[in-house]
Structure 1
Amino acid sequence: MSLQKRIWDLIVLGIFVFAATFASAPWFAFRALKAAAQYEDVQAISELVDFPAVRRSLTGQLKEAAPVAAAEPPSIWRDPLGAMRRAIEPIAPPEPKVDRYLTIAGISALTRGYAPGAAPAGPARPETVGGKIRAVVRGPYPTIVYWDPNRVRVAMKRPGQPGRVTVFSFQRTALFTWKLVHIRLPREER
């Protein structure tokens, strides 16, 4: 084989490796997010998630429906006891629903396909090589439902309920760096 042929083969191999790495980087970003949440690695999660963007996306999905007609507040003239009770009640805003999704436990549950607080305990980490291989083969697997050079959507089906799918949208920030910018929850959980 000539030197030119070997150089050409190395160039073609380099292009193939670059393309494969570029195309599979979002999948590895999702796996890194799942592992970081499982091992409670706050630093890694903060590097992989754009929290303001994810908070905005979840807030839009978790908005409570406005009441059709709010009851008129009690009047001092019509209901003096109700007005006094209302005046001394503590005024506390309701807890935002988004906060439970953006905790380590919430992100871990979402990457496994469950709603926060509804995920069963994770299986124990196998010690043997055979056990690790069985754990990988068993699944569940994330699937890429959309891919373009700057945005990728990864879907995670809930184990046992394939109709409930959580979709994670990643955006490219550097050549091989991807950040989570949006989470679409299953319709039943919105």
Structure 2
Amino acid sequence: MTFQKRLWDLVVLAIAVFAAAFATAPWFAFRALKAAAQYEDVQAIGELVDFPAVRRSLTAELDETPAAAAPAEPPSLWRDPLRVFKRAIEPIAPPEPKVDRYLTVPGLAALTRGYAPGGAPPAPAKPAAALDQLKAAVAGPHPAIAYWDPNRVRISVKRPGQPAKTTIFTFRRDKLFTWRLVHIRLPVDER
């Protein structure tokens, strides 16, 4: 074999390795997010999630704007004095946003497993035997790539036991091999 042939083989191998690493980088970013949420690694989660973008997308998804109803007339002291006092002492602070429970470490851990925050069963104990570890690794459901683009990837996670409920994570490429979570689309009945 000549030197040129070996050099050409090396170049082709390097291109193939680069293409495989580039194509699988979002999947590894999702696995890193899942592991960071499972082990409560806040710093890693901060590097993998674009919190302002995810908060905006979830706020729009969870927005419960009531239909255009006529504003209620304020109570009158002469007609309904008890309601006037009740309105005066009720808290003025707005209710806690629904988005906050999704953007916590336990919330992200539940979402990466396919469950709603607070609705995930405890993670199963890691099996000790090699055969049991293999069975646990093969058992589904697994995350799947729903859409792949050089700059944006959507990874879908089906809820165990309910394949109709799918959570979709959208990752955006920041650098050549750096991907960040920018959007979470919840199942239709949980929005």
Following superposition, the deviation at residue 93 of structure 1 comes to 1.2
Aligned match of 2:102 = 101
Structure 1 segment 1-190 matched on structure 2, within 5 A: 1-66=1-66, 68-190=69-191
Q: What is the TM-score when the length of structure 2 is the normalising length?
A: 0.95
Look up the equivalent residue of 2:177 and give its one-letter code: F
Look up the equivalent residue of 1:79 and give its one-letter code: D
Look up the equivalent residue of 1:93 and give its one-letter code: P
Cα deviation, 1:93-135, whole Å, max 9, x if unaligned, reads 1111000000000000000001001111110122333232221
Cα deviation, 1:26-55, whole Å, max 9, x if unaligned, reads 001001100110111111100100000000
Following superposition, the deviation at residue 70 of structure 1 comes to 4.4
What's the RMSD between the two structures over aligned residues? Answer: 1.2
Distance in 2 (alpha carbons) for counterparts of 1:130 and 1:111 = 25
Distance in 2 (alpha carbons) for counterparts of 1:136 and 1:172 = 28
Gaps of 5+ in 2: none
Distance in 2 (alpha carbons) for counterparts of 1:128 and 1:176 = 35
Look up the equivalent residue of 1:123 and give its one-letter code: P
* 1:70 to 1:130, Cα distance in 2 relative to 1, 3 A: farther
2:64 match: secondary structure? coil
Q: What is the TM-score when the length of structure 1 is the normalising length?
A: 0.96
2:168 match: secondary structure? strand
Distance in 2 (alpha carbons) for counterparts of 1:119 and 1:5 = 55
Gaps of 5+ in 1: none
2:76 match: secondary structure? coil
Look up the equivalent residue of 2:156 and give its one-letter code: A
Distance in 1 (alpha carbons) for counterparts of 2:29 and 2:132 = 24
Instruction: Count how many residue pairs are aligned between Structure 1 and Structure 2.
Output: 190
Distance in 1 (alpha carbons) for counterparts of 2:74 and 2:137 = 58
Distance in 2 (alpha carbons) for counterparts of 1:138 and 1:78 = 65
